[in-house]
Amino acid sequence: MFSLNCNGKLLLIDKPLLMGVINLTEDSFYEGSRFKNSYTIKDKVTQMIDEGATIIDLGAQSTRPGSIRITANEELEKLLPVIETLKENVPEIIISIDTYHSKVAEESVKAGATIINDISAGEMDKNMVKTVAKLKVPFIGMHMKGVPETMQHQPHYEDIKKEILDFFIGKIKECEEEGINDIIIDPGFGFGKNISQNLHLLKHLGIFKLLEKPIMIGVSRKSAIYKTLKITAEESLNGTTVLNTIGLLNGASILRVHDVKAAKQAVTLFQSYSHA
């Protein structure tokens, strides 16, 4: 069991939680997660919460392989109106912000967000860890080899489990020394890893329980699924459910998903199975 202090609201992880993905960019790899209008987003978020999402992850920066970066100010132009709309209409919502810019993290938390989710775990903006510590919100740090523009250009590891475990040991130490109390780790499926590396990492996900932190996984509709099955991202819901279930069996605490209803069913069945 873990607990997270989300800016005064206690979030208990006594069972696997679901994080619903909302992308505010036209460049997201999966069309079904892209939204332009604040009120369309409000309706989708309400649906996700009704289906079982505890956290909503908003992202305005595309981080798919080969993506083009936008500035922190451009991110904020997209994020702040949506945060405002959601806080007005769904006041109890727990909003996570998917960003690697410390400025975006700070302004988003001021607007009502309560978790920061950084694909680089503070490596792309060296002010991020200090900023999150000052904001006193949970920090999701992900492992990524390289940067989004080039991370999938023949990623190589001598021992992927050891390399990522060592990365998190160092990162957790850095975060705790700066004063971040609530740290979630994300092994970074699809971020500087090829298909076999992703599947190997999922198979051995349990090794990260040594860190005694919540483990989040984001495998939803990713290329490890649709390239293996020779289908499209749009056809990858069943494959996503399979990999999410494997993740749950191997110790995942949070599933980051596009399809909340299916993920909730997986969690419910997993819990029934676990208690049988």
Instruction: Return d(Cα 99, Cα 121) in angstroms, integer.
Output: 10
- The mean per-residue pLDDT over the stretch 78-100 comes to 94
Q: Determine what percent of the chain falls in helix, strand and coil, rounding each to the nearest 5.
A: 45, 15, 35
Instruction: Return d(Cα 8, Cα 140) in angstroms, integer.
Output: 17
- pLDDT, tens digit (0-9, with 9 covering 90-100), for 150-195: 555 567 899 999 999 999 999 999 999 999 999 999 999 999 899 9
Element (H, E) at 208: none
Tell me if residue 15 is catalytic: no
The answer to the question of residue 245 being in a domain is yes
CATH number, domain with residue 25: 3.20.20.20
The answer to the question of residue 142 being in a domain is yes
Instruction: Give the confidence band of 242 by pLDDT, cuts at 50, 70, 90.
Output: very high
Instruction: Give the confidence band of 70 by pLDDT, cuts at 50, 70, 90.
Output: confident
The answer to the question of residue 2 being in a domain is no
Instruction: Give the confidence band of 36 by pLDDT, cuts at 50, 70, 90.
Output: low
Instruction: Return d(Cα 45, Cα 53) in angstroms, integer.
Output: 9
> Residue 94: its pLDDT value, please?
97
- pLDDT, tens digit (0-9, with 9 covering 90-100), for 208-233: 999 999 999 999 999 999 999 999 99
Instruction: Return d(Cα 258, Cα 267) in angstroms, integer.
Output: 15
Q: What is the pTM of this model?
A: 0.93
Q: Which of 193, 213, 221, 222 is catalytic?
A: 222
Pick from 204, 191, 124: nearest CA to 159: 204
CB neighbourhood size of 199 (10 A): 18
DSSP label at residue 67: P
Q: Which two tokens stand for residue 145?
A: 């080899």
Amino acid identity of 3? S
> Residue 24: its pLDDT value, please?
86
Full DSSP string of 130-180: HHHHHHT--EEEE--SS-TTTTTSS---SSHHHHHHHHHHHHHHHHHHHT-
Which phi and psi angles does 130 have, rounded to 5°? -60, -40
Domain count, the chain: 1
- pLDDT, tens digit (0-9, with 9 covering 90-100), for 127-148: 999 999 999 999 999 999 866 6
Res 239 pLDDT > 80: yes
CB neighbourhood size of 5 (10 A): 14
The answer to the question of residue 4 being in a domain is no
The answer to the question of residue 68 being in a domain is yes
Sheet of 94-98, strands arranged across: 183-186, 139-142, 115-118, 94-98, 55-59, 17-23, 254-257, 216-217
Instruction: Return d(Cα 157, Cα 137) in angstroms, integer.
Output: 32
Q: Which of 136, 256, 261, 264 is catalytic?
A: 256
Angle 11-6-120 from CA coordinates, rounded to 5°: 105
Question: What domain range is 93 assigned to?
Answer: 16-274
Instruction: Return d(Cα 267, Cα 253) in angstroms, integer.
Output: 10
Instruction: Give the confidence band of 40 by pLDDT, cuts at 50, 70, 90.
Output: confident
CB neighbourhood size of 156 (10 A): 9
Tell me if residue 64 is catalytic: no
The answer to the question of residue 1 being in a domain is no
